[in-house]
Amino acid sequence: MPDRKDIAAILAERHGPEIQARIEQGVVGVMGLGGLGSSVAAALVRIGIGKLLLADYDTVELSNLNRQYYFADQIGLPKTVALRDTLLRINPYVCLETIHERLTEERIPLLFKGVDVLVECFDDPAMKPAALRAARGSLRGIGYVGASGMAGFGDNNRIVTRRIYPRVYLVGDSEAEVGPNQGLMAPRVGIAAHHQANQALRLLLGVDEDTGS
């Protein structure tokens, strides 16, 4: 098992010492640990993020395994517990805080106060605008990355990252909803999740500009 210094050294070598130092200072909140959130979290842990706040109230089900970052032997576990265990296998020294509760517009500002970037990964359509209202109203100045439209197996390149307000971004094609013969599938959800993770990184590094049309 590598020690903390070994992991820090290889990340600095891969990413550059100055960039890595800024990543290691970053604090990111992930709201929802399904197909998007579990993959966003894994990507951020792999680059050496300083701290992650992971929030979900659900448990791992068999139906999750088609697109979410869980394993068959984790079925029945709370997603916060299962994902924490998986992320610690990637980097045993990462700082993780889990929040096992159903988030609300009122609770989000309390639970995520102090994060640098908040990533919205909800399955519930009603929570998407609620989370954005909470962030813009009570968590001003943080970076925010939401998602809308990634169902099915449509064109890869229609998944884009758009700035909708200063330091607020939306990932997806804004159209592809779940329906007959158009479910949520690992490849396209994964594309969107990595857009979100990369935009969170860009915000942490101070790159705040339009990245889509």
Q: In whole angstroms, give the CA distance from residue 60 to residue 44.
A: 21
Domain boundaries, the chain: 4-204
DSSP 170: E
Calpha distance 145→132 (Å, rounded): 9
Architecture per CATH, 4-204? 3-Layer(aba) Sandwich (3.40)
Q: Distance (Å, rounded) from C-alpha 201 to C-alpha 189?
A: 18
Nearest to 170 by CA among 195, 145, 198, 188: 145
Scanning the structure block, which residue is given the tokens 């990340």? 11
Q: Please tell me the pTM assigned to this model.
A: 0.94
Q: Examine the pLDDT at 210 and tell me if it is beyond 60.
A: no
* Interval 87-121: pLDDT, tens: 999 999 999 999 999 999 999 999 999 999 999 99
